[in-house]
Structure 1
Amino acid sequence: MKTLVVILLIVLAGGVLALWLWRQWDHRLDQAAVDRLTALQPSNPGRFEPAMVAGLPEPARRYFLYTIAPDTPLYTVACISMAGRFGMGNRDKPDYLEMRASQVLAMPAGFVWKMNASRGLMRLSGSDTEGWTRFWLMELLPVARAGGDPDHTRSAFGRYVAEAVFWSPASVLPGPGIRWELVDENTARVTVRSNGLEQAVDVTVAKNGQPEEVSFFRWSNANPEKVHRLQPFGGYLSEFRDFGGFRLPTRVAAGNFFGTEDYFPFFVVSVTDITFPGA
């Protein structure tokens, strides 16, 4: 009997060790992705001049003049630290977790979002990138692993194009693969094309150019049928601060079915810092 107990304990310890090593491997992959994206930062970027956006639709011109000060180095890779709430439920039962996260945003190449969330004794951690979604319970139990398929890639592309609009405006300046057009007197649409993907995002601005809303149709299976399809996504931006010449929102509330009665802001964060590697 004692021998059986010893064997079971050895097996259990081996299983825990294997899970721990698997978790450490995920951390290494996260860091490798971070290093790859931060290396894409321009080493000697140009500087913003209002003439760069003079020919854009009026809301887009106002947006850039508000978010980028003249002579600001046009860094396109941003590192964002944030804290807030992450909803695991739905509109009727949000099931929010308290969350802290960091993100490297390098549109159009990709992003890495690493989070730690908790409620009571429960702990959830993991990462989301253009290549994968991986979440762990108590740092030892894998509870979600997805990615490596066209649906994930397309959905992730929509996310980080939209986030670039409000956290990395230099990356959506007009150029190859980036087109701006007029929607109405206070809304402009940017369409980004990269690596066979295309995403249009609408940004609504105030009279002074401050972005107030970002909305788009995202490829997602966050619906009762769990079927990937285009559906409204978006959020509200507020509490702008200056970060190295960029005026960016530090309060973001976003979620599925934006603009409808089913809107659920599962992502509600306050930004604590934004930096630009190499600046």
Structure 2
Amino acid sequence: MTFQAIIKGTFMALTGVGGLTLGSLGLLQGWHAMQANRLWRSMKTQPSTKHFEPAMVEDLPAPAQRYLLHAIQPNARLASSVEVTMHGAYTHSADIKAPKYPFRGKRIIRAGKGFVFKVVVPGSGLQRLHETGLAYYANQKGYERAKYLNLIPIYFRLSDPVDITRTFLERYITDLVLLPSALLPQPGVEWQAIDDQHAKVKITQDGQAMSLTLTIGPAGELQEVCFDYWSAKGGAKTYQAIPCGMQIHQEQRFGDYTIPSSFNFIWWYNLPDREPGTIFEFELDSARFR
């Protein structure tokens, strides 16, 4: 066999393997797309037939009453899910000077069940490839993945399923400030007053409890949310409860609900010995309650 024949055979073999690999990735991508769409559909709900009445919150602490009466219009349908579209910027670094990458995404949150978040990070020159991601908490399971060019896996969060599930369960709980009807008095929701500007709400879901401390303005506007978030990101070396906060810069009324529309998600929040780091910056474009 000549040298040219060997080279030609090797090239053809590599091409075949490459084609098989791309084909396999394509099939995997198709399966993931079906999975994401199925999960998204499972979060959809029918419009509620129940309506909000101010008497529903009359036994709550004063700041909690003020917040919920501001967030939900009288006689509003009691939504059990919300779909939002958003854009913003993010980084995995805890360094506030680290570069942030723009993203756009959509999220659906269903009370008592979980959330699905689909995100796209556009490419920027030769420095960064187009990236897509999916994160969810559903059926008592958390999951995250990201891919370049909507095809090549970057990472799949499968090696630590217990920690990942707790992380995304807590992500779901923090998301409930975008679905205020889920914070009305009901099993699994406990309110406690701190002072006239602060209230704590403890939410229990699937056997896991998490508390959010809300700063509430004089008109009932939500200004800040503080919590401990289970994660190994933001500069943490291992999974741990990281003090985090959401700084809310603007709110907007969507239909019968008023929710934060511009806010930051900040690691290591309100710690005297550590500089905080903004991980996500969000701007809501739309919100649909059902």
What TM-score bracket applies, with the shorter chain setting the length?
over 0.9
How far does residue 162 in structure 1 lie from its aligned partner after superposition?
Answer: 1.3
State percent identity of aligned pairs.
24
How far does residue 95 in structure 1 lie from its aligned partner after superposition?
Answer: 2.5
- Cα RMSD (Å): 1.6
The answer for the alignment partner of 1:32 in structure 2 is: 38
- Pair 271,92 (structure 1): closer, same or farther in 2 beyond 3 Å: closer
Q: Deviations over 1:185-218 (max 9, x none)?
A: 2111111112211111111110111000011111
Aligned length: 274
How far does residue 3 in structure 1 lie from its aligned partner after superposition?
Answer: 2.5
**1:19-168 alignment runs, 5 A limit:** 19-38=25-44, 41-121=45-125, 122-130=129-137, 131-147=142-158, 149-165=161-177, 167-168=178-179
The answer as to 2:267 corresponding to 1:256 is: yes
In 2, the alpha carbon distance for the partners of 1:229 and 1:110 equals 22
Residue identity in the other structure for 1:271: L
Q: Aligned match of 1:182 in 190, 193, 196?
A: 193
Q: For the pair shown, which has the larger CA radius of gyration, 1 or 2?
A: 2
In 2, the alpha carbon distance for the partners of 1:158 and 1:137 equals 27
Residue identity in the other structure for 2:255: G
Secondary structure, aligned partner of 2:14: helix
- Pair 94,241 (structure 1): closer, same or farther in 2 beyond 3 Å: same
The answer for the alignment partner of 1:211 in structure 2 is: 222
TM-score (norm 2): 0.90
In 2, the alpha carbon distance for the partners of 1:198 and 1:13 equals 48
TM-score (norm 1): 0.93
How far does residue 11 in structure 1 lie from its aligned partner after superposition?
Answer: 0.9
Contact 1:108 1:161 in 2 (8 A): no
How far does residue 24 in structure 1 lie from its aligned partner after superposition?
Answer: 2.1
Q: Deviations over 1:80-105 (max 9, x none)?
A: 10011011333254221110000001
Contact 2:193 2:199 in 1 (8 A): yes
Secondary structure, aligned partner of 2:210: strand
Secondary structure, aligned partner of 1:184: coil
The answer for the alignment partner of 1:275 in structure 2 is: 288
The answer for the alignment partner of 2:3 in structure 1 is: none
How far does residue 123 in structure 1 lie from its aligned partner after superposition?
Answer: 1.4
In 2, the alpha carbon distance for the partners of 1:186 and 1:231 equals 24
